[in-house]
Amino acid sequence: MKVTVVGAGAVGASCAEYIAIKNFASEVVLLDIKEGYAEGKAMDLMQTASLNGFDTKITGSTNDYSKTAHSDIAVITSGIPRKPGMTREELIGINAGIVKTVSKNLIEHSPNTIIIVVSNPMDTMTYLVHKSTNLPKHRIIGMGGALDSARFKYRLAEALGAPISDVDGMVIGGHSDKGMVPLIGHAARNSVKVSEFLSEERMQQVVEDTKVGGATLTKLLGTSAWYAPGAAVSGLVQAIACDLKKIYPCSTLLEGEYGLSDLCIGVPVVLGKNGIERIVEIELSDAEKAKLKESAEGVSKTNGLLEL
Ligand SMILES: NC(=O)c1ccc[n+]([C@@H]2O[C@H](COP(=O)([O-])OP(=O)(O)OC[C@H]3O[C@@H](n4cnc5c(N)ncnc54)[C@H](O)[C@@H]3O)[C@@H](O)[C@H]2O)c1
Ligand SMILES: O=C(O)C[C@H](O)C(=O)O
């Protein structure tokens, strides 16, 4: 199992590290445009192998895509991150050009690869990969919901005073400050709805804290987060590589599901060896449907800024 990660920055390196530590891939190639950077990150990570007990071989490449040939899975983390006060949507001008070039280069050397898009604004970048390549839809996956759901669970556990392993919750919709739809009505503490434990006000606070999860960290760090994003990507990669058939909310091209079409947005999907093996349509309340529709309108508006 060969995995390529393009963009050896904060998220790309974190993602490579988690993939290696989980020890399911034979090879991870890190590629970056900055001279020597990916090679340096790869060497540093390889020097953790005996300490962390993994056998995955990590190599680096400065923009040489021949090294990525025959990748089963390719992750795109190349592009600029936001600074405090910015929205993800403001990154479109620079990142669209990068994502378009990178996906073209990847497919040239790995025509059968499954692409996971991470660069922001992620839903629009995922849509761009659809529009600019001829990959089938099940092989183009946007990562956002897995991260947002992890943050939702963190906030739920905090509010409940419960261990995170006792908590279940999912965030669908666009990966944006305004567009996320944390499904609080479905969230549970070991099968008991969280509304049994939390007031309406506290639940709303959890929802709001979740939606600004990325912005909160960006303000604290001066750039956007990388540990949880890297871990979330590694979860998706593992589900595909090991054919786990796990459900994650991922950004995928909708063609009528949830009453939406011609955009990529986060909905629950089953991930296995073929990439997105099924879009799962869950029953939503009228309020949740309205929020998803509003979120989709936001994503479509950003998609409208693409030069296709
Ligand atoms: N979808 C998500 O949930 C999520 C989570 C975190 C970050 N992100 C996004 O991921 C992207 C990367 O974030 P980061 O913190 O790792 O940034 P970073 O600046 O640390 O790393 C980005 C890397 O991309 C490289 N790069 C730029 N252009 C390239 C090209 N054409 N080819 C190859 N490499 C290129 C840069 O040299 C840099 O090393 C940002 O757009 C950020 O907003 C998304
Ligand atoms: O917040 C960001 O800009 C990065 C990423 O989308 C995140 O949610 O951490």
Three-class secondary structure assignment of the chain: CEEEEECCCHHHHHHHHHHHHHCCCCEEEEEECCCCHHHHHHHHHHCCHHHHCCCCEEEEEECCHHHHCCCCEEEECCCCCCCCCCCHHHHHHHHHHHHHHHHHHHHHHCCCCEEEECCCCHHHHHHHHHHHCCCCHHHEEECCHHHHHHHHHHHHHHHHCCCHHHEECCEEECCCCCCEEECCCCCEECCEEHHHCCCHHHHHHHHHHHHCHHHHHHHHHCCCCCHHHHHHHHHHHHHHHCCCCEEEEEEEEEECHHHCEEEEEEEEEEEECCEEEEECCCCCCHHHHHHHHHHHHHHHHHHCCCCC
Instruction: Detail the residues annotated as belonging to a binding site for NAD(+).
Output: 7-12, 32, 95, 118-120
Pocket test for ligand 2, best of 95, 120, 126, 151 (most atoms within 8 A of CB): 120
Please state, as a whole number, how many other Cβ atoms lie within 10 Å of the Cβ of residue 305: 12
Verdict on whether the full-model pTM lies above 0.95? yes
pLDDT of the residue at 181:
98
Q: Is the peptide bond before 121 cis (omega within 30 degrees of 0)?
A: yes
Atom of ligand 2 nearest to the CA of 120: 6
Q: Which candidate, 47, 38, 56, 60, places its Cα nearest to that of 1?
A: 56
Q: In the numeric block, which tokens belong to residue 80?
A: 């600029």
Q: How far is CA 52 from CA 47, 117, 194, 307, in A?
A: 9, 27, 37, 44
Q: Is 130 close to ligand 1, i.e. is its CB under 6 Å away?
A: no
Who lines ligand 2 at CB under 6 A?
81-82, 88, 120, 147, 175, 214, 218, 224-225, 229
* Ligand 1 centroid – CA 76 distance (Å): 8
Q: In the numeric block, which tokens belong to residue 124?
A: 């629009």
Q: Which ligand is nearest to the CA of 146?
A: 1
Per-residue tens of pLDDT for the chain, all 308 residues: 999 999 999 999 999 999 999 999 999 999 999 999 999 999 999 999 999 999 999 999 999 999 999 999 999 999 999 999 999 999 999 999 999 999 999 999 999 999 999 999 999 999 999 999 999 999 999 999 999 999 999 999 999 999 999 999 999 999 999 999 999 999 999 999 999 999 999 999 999 999 999 999 999 999 999 999 999 999 999 999 999 999 999 999 999 999 999 999 999 999 999 999 999 999 999 999 999 999 999 999 999 999 98
pLDDT of the residue at 239:
98
| Partner residues linked to 275 by β-bridges | 272
pLDDT of the residue at 41:
98
**CB-CB contact of 74 with 115 (8 Å):** yes
Atom of ligand 1 nearest to the CA of 95: 41
**CB-CB contact of 288 with 181 (8 Å):** yes
Q: Which candidate, 78, 84, 77, places its Cα nearest to that of 212?
A: 84
pLDDT of the residue at 120:
98
Q: In the numeric block, which tokens belong to residue 180?
A: 């996320």
pLDDT of the residue at 308:
85
Assess whether 186 carries a catalytic annotation. Answer: no
Q: In the numeric block, which tokens belong to residue 191?
A: 């099968």
Pocket test for ligand 2, best of 76, 175, 218, 219 (most atoms within 8 A of CB): 218
Cα(198)–Cα(283) distance, rounded to whole angstroms? 23
Pocket test for ligand 1, best of 78, 101, 177 (most atoms within 8 A of CB): 78
Please name each of the domains of the chain with its CATH number: 2-144 (3.40.50.720), 145-303 (3.90.110.10)
Protein residue whose Cα sits closest to atom 6 of ligand 1: 229
Locus of tokens 């279940």: 168
Cα(7)–Cα(119) distance, rounded to whole angstroms? 9
pLDDT of the residue at 201:
98
